[in-house]
């Protein structure tokens, strides 16, 4: 008779190994991780400055450095990187694709959100360069890719929460008069009320498991145009000050991000302040005011660990036509901007353009929607009102740049950004992209199926 020992060492060892692997895999699947990094991206002096048609000259100094801030989120096998740039606009399509491929290959990044704060004291960036991208842009892309890798290397388990407050540092620069005409209010030092504006400050706080803050993302809509065209030094404008205020309030522990919202028609009150009239002081006021409001919201957030963490993402492009007759568009743009400014700001514009609509859903509770241009503020308030989840962050200047995105109503009324040469895509593009983003969020929530549903009266509710 052959007897088998019930305590055979081979089988239990294998079983223990399999159970351990299964346990670890289950643990990974039920854990959200995050990492942050920051790298300087200030171009060399002499680089052309972006933001004003009458200031196409090289920078003569640096008031404060420009940075790229990186946040990486990881859940299971999905990694999402958010890159926040102290620039007037994002890099062009070829550069973004290069960064996306490098981050995928070297850091396992599946999805990438690249956004600009829209500072008007940054460098000129083009979609296409006649002689290839400048050396500083290539070097900055390499630095950002290394920062993404560094953030992944230092990712830790986290808990997440969202909070809100209000700040009043901006106004709507398009004034619709009683007769229906539009006047542009380029500065508003008296802080006269205008409409529409969105004073809401939305804050995403990410903590380490022990509650120590790791990242604080502040979403707000206002043009960083405190400095006018006489400013010849690079600066992050008020978003840079805001980040410092938030970080200092938490003892320097977290990395703060300014997630620019739908600021297409919103200026800071002290827009275009000449350098000799305390432009730096007015910048600091705006950054300090917004920073304190963000701190107030962040301090009240109770972060939590989601029992079923999940990252959903989509970055699908929607095709739109040039709004104008191509020949007349070029003629009027040359007249409005001048030949030199046309080469910088409008030459890459095509008769048909593919605009990426960026949508992310974190833990089925927090939505992030990005548009590749300068959306008017109504899109931000409307998206929040329609969004099927309670917390929704709207990002402008994301994953590309295609000029102003006015509402249909604004396009019919007029004014800068609504009918000017800096408005490129067809009327209604913003509304269509917003609807598409809302569809994507509902799809991520499982609200749509690929086959007819006989139980059509009992769709699953949104979270």
What are the per-10-residue average pLDDT scores of the chain (463 residues)? 37 42 45 98 96 89 98 97 98 96 97 98 93 96 98 98 98 95 95 96 98 98 98 98 98 98 98 97 98 98 97 97 90 78 71 96 98 98 97 98 97 95 94 98 92 73 65
pLDDT at residue 22, rounded to an integer: 42
pLDDT at residue 228, rounded to an integer: 96
Q: How many residues does the structure list for the chain? A: 463
At 262, list the tokens: 């739908």
Count other Cβ atoms within 10 Å, centred on residue 175.
16
pTM above 0.85, yes or no: yes
pLDDT at residue 54, rounded to an integer: 85
Phi, psi of 178 (to 5 degrees): -60, -30
Report CA-CA distances (Å) from 407 to 266, 388, 417, 460. 14, 22, 10, 32
pLDDT at residue 421, rounded to an integer: 85
Distance CA 286, CA 349 (A): 34
Phi, psi of 418 (to 5 degrees): -110, -40
Q: Where are the domains of the chain?
A: 31-444
Residue 299's nearest CA partner among 227, 251, 342 is: 251
End-to-end CA distance of the chain: 62
């Amino acid at each position: 008779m052959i007897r088998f020992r019930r305590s055979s060492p081979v089988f239990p060892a294998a079983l223990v190994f399999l159970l351990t692997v299964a346990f670890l895999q289950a643990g990974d699947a039920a854990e959200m991780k995050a990492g942050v990094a920051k790298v300087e991206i200030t171009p060399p002096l002499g680089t052309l400055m972006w933001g004003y048609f009458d200031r196409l000259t090289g920078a003569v100094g640096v008031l404060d450095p420009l940075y790229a801030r990186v946040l990486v989120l990881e859940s299971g096998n999905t990694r999402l990187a958010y890159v926040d740039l102290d620039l007037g606009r994002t890099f062009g399509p070829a550069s973004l694709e290069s960064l996306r491929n490098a981050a995928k290959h070297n850091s396992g990044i599946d999805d990438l959100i690249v956004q600009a704060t829209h500072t008007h004291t940054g460098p000129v960036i083009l979609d296409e360069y006649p002689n290839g991208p400048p050396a500083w842009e290539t070097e900055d892309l390499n630095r950002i890719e290394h920062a993404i890798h560094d953030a992944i290397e230092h990712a830790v388990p986290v808990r997440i929460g969202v909070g809100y407050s209000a700040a009043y540092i901006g106004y709507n620069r398009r004034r619709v008069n009683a007769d229906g005409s539009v006047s542009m209010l380029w500065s508003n030092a008296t802080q006269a009320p205008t409409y529409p504006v969105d004073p809401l400050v939305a804050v995403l706080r990410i903590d380490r498991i022990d509650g120590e803050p790791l990242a604080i993302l502040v979403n707000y809509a206002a043009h960083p145009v405190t400095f006018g065209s006489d400013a010849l030094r690079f600066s992050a404008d008020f978003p840079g000050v805001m980040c410092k205020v938030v970080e200092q309030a938490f003892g320097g522990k977290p990395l703060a991000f300014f997630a620019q919202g739908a600021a297409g028609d919103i200026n800071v009150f002290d827009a275009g302040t000449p350098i000799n009239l305390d432009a730096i002081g007015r910048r600091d006021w705006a950054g300090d005011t917004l920073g304190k409001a963000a701190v107030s919201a962040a301090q009240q957030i109770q972060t939590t660990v989601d029992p079923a963490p999940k990252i959903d993402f989509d970055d699908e492009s929607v095709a739109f036509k040039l709004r104008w007759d191509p020949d007349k568009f070029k003629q009027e743009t040359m007249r409005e901007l001048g030949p030199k400014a046309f080469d910088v700001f409008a030459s890459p514009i095509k008769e048909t353009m593919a605009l990426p609509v960026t949508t992310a859903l974190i833990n089925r509770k927090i939505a992030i929607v990005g548009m590749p241009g300068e959306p008017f503020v109504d899109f931000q308030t409307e998206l929040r009102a329609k969004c099927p989840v309670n917390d929704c962050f709207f990002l402008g200047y994301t994953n590309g740049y295609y000029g102003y995105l006015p509402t249909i109503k604004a396009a019919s009324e007029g004014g800068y950004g609504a009918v000017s040469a800096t408005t490129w895509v067809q009327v209604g593009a913003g509304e269509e992209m917003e609807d598409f983003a809302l569809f994507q969020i509902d799809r991520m929530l499982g609200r749509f199926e690929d086959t007819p549903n006989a139980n059509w009266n009992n769709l699953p509710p949104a979270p």
